[in-house]
Amino acid sequence: MPTESSIGLSSPVAAGPVAPGVYCLRVAVDVPLLALFDYLSTVPVEVGVRVIVPFGRRKVVGVVVGLPEAPAIDIALVKEIDQVLDDTPPLSADWLRMASFAAQYYQRPLGEVILPALPTALRKVSAYQGKLSAGGPVQRLDNRKPVARRDVPPDVPPQLNAEQAAAATAIAALRQHKTVMLHGVTGSGKTEVYLHAAQQVLARGKQVLFMVPEINLTPQLERSLRARLASVAGSGALAVMHSGLSDGERLRAWLQVQRGQARVLLGTRLSIFAPMPELGMIIVDEEHDTSYKQQDGLRYSARDLAVWRGSDLNIPVVLGSATPSLESWNHAQTGHYLRYTLAQRARDVALPEVRLVDTRRLALQQGFSPQLIKAIGERLAAKEQALVFLNRRGYAPVLNCSSCGWVSQCPRCTAYTVLHRAGARRNILQCHHCGHQARVPAACPECGDQDLKPMGRGTQRVEEHLAELFPQARIARIDADSTRLKGSAAALFARIHAGEFDLLVGTQMVAKGHDFANLGLVGVLNADAMLFAQDFRAPERLFAQLMQVAGRAGRHVKGGQVIIQTDYPEQAVYQALIRHDYPGFAGYGLDERKAVGLPPYAYQALLTAEARQLAAALDFLASARRLPAEQATMYEALDAITLYDPVPLRVVRVANVERAQLLVESTNRRALQQFLTTWSAALAGLARDFRVRYNLEVDPLEI
Ligand SMILES: Nc1ncnc2c1ncn2[C@@H]1O[C@H](COP(=O)(O)OP(=O)(O)OP(=O)(O)O)[C@@H](O)[C@H]1O
Ligand SMILES: [Zn+2]
């Protein structure tokens, strides 16, 4: 019973019964390919309502997306729905428009967009039927005692400086859609600008969606938001949504915003799909951050969807960053986005001095230059905190036999295994690609020599060195390993902010957003690793990362300093950093992209195939590449499209699966979209023939 159209919503107005007392519903369910199916109902049901329907031998939850006059197939074959779920308001027309746009743009069936966006309980048959369902998840939640109110005493907002005031006033004055880029150097007080603009939107009775890249940024921000917004919108006006919530917490937040009880939603990328009936503004903080891109399932960019949703709802969207993505910067340069600049730090402090230490001719002590060691010592003596940044977790990236050259390798991946300290005396080898773990061999598996040595260093080893160098210092390590448990990142950051540590060692987790009050020095180790990465966005990302981490220094204390150790001090990235020159770096980057026709001057899609054997993946891609020339409908669009040769991924094998990719490019976004729609429809059948798994990613961030 699949219908003809796989996407596209029909009119929400009931078409009237197909027979007396019988209504036809078009329902989206979470299955691949044709995700819309027709059902009959004996009661009229609105578009946007969830229903339980029979599907094959199962029952599933679906969402009504259309009310056709007649089913697309023989009515005798059409089944009846099982149950109407009316314990939440229907998904609104604008919400469904966004889902439909995302489905079209990212080449996914509508049902695979709509249903995964809902809290689990709202899309689970067992939550509604069976012994334990007790009136359904919404009623169960509503029956429980209300949540403890988390009142935070109101704070006194600082007097905005002139740049902040200009930006906040201009943003708050917008009464229709405009995308505003708030380009503010690190510590320039972008948060205050958001808060002031948001307050005014709330005062007009609207809701605000405030997006941040990562969960570990939310506690600090959550507190300021509660403190600041209580007076305008009442306490309890804030809901928080991120992937670290339990199913119940997520459902609660969803209902609070959908019912309009919560006026502000603070959330990570998934919050772009929150139902907000009175949405009046969307704020995307650190808009350049790659966490806004979902990396599996529907591979959407929450930032891009935010701009789309804002335009669809005709409301302003604010994109804030010290280092905007080149895509967004380009829009600002061409006048497509409004731009406000905060060039000064908000407090009475200057941007930190950035110093490059040329490590080519230096004797390093366990990876540290004498300059960095001296600088750390001085900060500690002055009772300030210092941070050592190294974007590599574990003890050492590889274990090596010094007599035969053996290196520790993952048996399932084309990658080294990383040496980790798993306890006081216990070391393990761990693969960062598939999670595979192995004991550390007592002797070299190749030659039997016992002299196995860790090569290079990760955060654990740096922590160990620092403890030797500065035995008095209280050291905290912040990386994915030290913050694995739920809530532990928030707890660790709380202790750091409370001044319980003198020295911090961390990966990019510490780089973002945090307003450290007592941090005077940032030291950067091994930044060069990213300098020569193949990905064309690597320099942009390195610059952003270093600028962000540098920006943690000297935010409240004077004389902040950043020391970057490098073998390539003359590189453009580093030279721009010394000058804090984002516009210069971005201008240079955009010129380069333009010269070779890369985004934002071209649009891309990436077809990735996975198979047991690389050859199968490559064969599939080669056939996929030939398809268009063989099919007349696709051939027409081909003029504007470039299909590159299929190539193996850099890390070819992960968990015994081999991977290859095919890049599709066009300077014409619409042509690319048209092409992808026809092409992706044909790919599914092809993949079945070749027995490969594949995914098609639009606007890929990594190639
Ligand atoms: N007008 C102001 N007067 C005094 N202090 C201010 C003012 N505005 C903001 N601040 C303070 O300045 C500090 C930096 O602000 P904030 O964290 O918002 O910077 P940011 O622009 O988000 O920086 P980053 O991009 O580095 O995260 C905070 O401690 C904030 O409380
Ligand atoms: Zn592995």
Report pTM.
0.94
Distance 408 CA to ligand 2 centre (A): 11
With respect to residue 464, please indicate whether it lies within any of the assigned structural domains: yes
CA distances to 121, 217, 541 from 548, in Å: 38, 14, 10
Residues 167 and 315 in one domain: yes
pLDDT value of residue 3: 42
Distance 442 CA to ligand 2 centre (A): 21
Residues 359 and 502 in one domain: yes
Q: What share of the chain is helix, strand, coil (3-state, %, to 5)?
A: 35, 25, 40
With respect to residue 402, please indicate whether it lies within any of the assigned structural domains: no
Average pLDDT over residues 602-617: 97
Domain harbouring 608, CATH code = 3.30.70.360
Give yes or no for residue 674 CB within 6 A of ligand 1.
no
Residues 29 and 80 in one domain: yes
Give yes or no for residue 191 CB within 6 A of ligand 1.
yes
In this prediction, residue 7 has a pLDDT band, given cuts at 50, 70 and 90, of very low
Structural domains of the chain, count: 4
Specify the 3-state DSSP secondary structure of 478.
strand
**pLDDT tens column, 379-419:** 999 999 999 999 999 999 999 999 999 999 999 999 999 99
Residues 293 and 365 in one domain: no
Residue 78 has pLDDT above 80, yes or no: yes
Among all bound ligands, the one having the nearest atom to the CA of 433 is 2
In this prediction, residue 135 has a pLDDT band, given cuts at 50, 70 and 90, of confident
Q: Which atom of ligand 1 is found nearest the CA of 224? A: 31
Distance 436 CA to ligand 2 centre (A): 5
Measure the N-to-C terminal CA separation of the chain; round to a whole number of Å.
Answer: 38
Give yes or no for residue 322 CB within 6 A of ligand 1.
yes
- Nearest protein CA to atom 1 of ligand 1, as residue: 160
Across the beta sheet with 385-389, the strand order is 353-358, 561-566, 519-524, 385-389, 503-506, 475-478
pLDDT value of residue 143: 86
In this prediction, residue 425 has a pLDDT band, given cuts at 50, 70 and 90, of confident
Average pLDDT over residues 311-315: 98
Distance 192 CA to ligand 1 centre (A): 7
Residue 13 has pLDDT above 60, yes or no: no
User: What's the angle, vertex CA 168, arms to CA 199 and CA 195, rounded to 5?
Assistant: 35
Residue 611 has pLDDT above 80, yes or no: yes
How many percent of the chain have pLDDT more than 90?
A: 80
Residue 223 has pLDDT above 90, yes or no: no
With respect to residue 1, please indicate whether it lies within any of the assigned structural domains: no
Average pLDDT over residues 635-651: 88
Residue ranges at the known binding site for Zn(2+):
401, 404, 410, 413, 431, 434, 444, 447
**547, 570, 592 — which closes off a domain?**
592
Residue 108 has pLDDT above 90, yes or no: yes
Residues 612 and 586 in one domain: no
pLDDT value of residue 219: 72
The answer to whether 146 touches 137, Cβ cutoff 8 Å, is no
Q: Which atom of ligand 1 is found nearest the CA of 515? A: 17
Residues 326 and 271 in one domain: yes
The answer to whether 115 touches 29, Cβ cutoff 8 Å, is yes
With respect to residue 362, please indicate whether it lies within any of the assigned structural domains: yes
pLDDT value of residue 148: 60
Residues 638 and 576 in one domain: no
Residues 51 and 191 in one domain: no
Domain harbouring 529, CATH code = 3.40.50.300
Residues 549 and 610 in one domain: no
Residue 75 has pLDDT above 80, yes or no: yes
Residue 633 has pLDDT above 80, yes or no: no
Residues 297 and 359 in one domain: no
Distance 456 CA to ligand 2 centre (A): 19
Distance 657 CA to ligand 2 centre (A): 10
Residue 612 has pLDDT above 90, yes or no: yes
The tokens 């006033």 sit on which residue? 169
pLDDT value of residue 15: 57
With respect to residue 150, please indicate whether it lies within any of the assigned structural domains: no
Specify the 3-state DSSP secondary structure of 117.
helix
pLDDT value of residue 217: 63
In this prediction, residue 235 has a pLDDT band, given cuts at 50, 70 and 90, of low
- Please report the DSSP string for 673-701 in residue order: HHHHHHHHHHHHHHHHHHT-EEEEEES-S
With respect to residue 4, please indicate whether it lies within any of the assigned structural domains: no
CA atoms within 13 A on the CB side of 539: 19
Give yes or no for residue 59 CB within 6 A of ligand 1.
no
- Nearest protein CA to atom 26 of ligand 1, as residue: 186
- Nearest protein CA to atom 15 of ligand 1, as residue: 189
Q: What rounded mean pLDDT belongs to the chain? A: 92
**592, 612, 637 — which closes off a domain?**
592
Give yes or no for residue 391 CB within 6 A of ligand 1.
no
Residues 169 and 304 in one domain: yes
Ligand 1 pocket: which of 155, 159, 164, 191 to mutate (most atoms within 8 A of CB): 191
Domain harbouring 127, CATH code = 3.40.1440.60
Residues 377 and 475 in one domain: yes
pLDDT value of residue 12: 46
With respect to residue 444, please indicate whether it lies within any of the assigned structural domains: no
Q: Which atom of ligand 1 is found nearest the CA of 286? A: 25
In this prediction, residue 628 has a pLDDT band, given cuts at 50, 70 and 90, of confident
**pLDDT tens column, 472-482:** 999 999 999 99
**Which domain does 505 fall in, by range?**
353-395+457-592
Closest among 638, 656, 659, 633 to 648, alpha carbons compared: 659
Give yes or no for residue 497 CB within 6 A of ligand 1.
no
Q: Which atom of ligand 1 is found nearest the CA of 552? A: 26
With respect to residue 689, please indicate whether it lies within any of the assigned structural domains: yes
Overall size of the chain counted in residues:
703
Give yes or no for residue 589 CB within 6 A of ligand 1.
no
Give yes or no for residue 107 CB within 6 A of ligand 1.
no
229-243, 450-464, 563-577, 584-598 — which is least confidently predicted? 229-243
d(CA 258, CA 57): 33
- Which 3-state string (H, E, C) describes 3-28? CCCCCCCCCCCCCCCCECCEEEEEEE
Give yes or no for residue 482 CB within 6 A of ligand 1.
no
Give yes or no for residue 187 CB within 6 A of ligand 1.
yes
Give yes or no for residue 136 CB within 6 A of ligand 1.
no
Average pLDDT over residues 20-33: 91
Average pLDDT over residues 568-597: 96
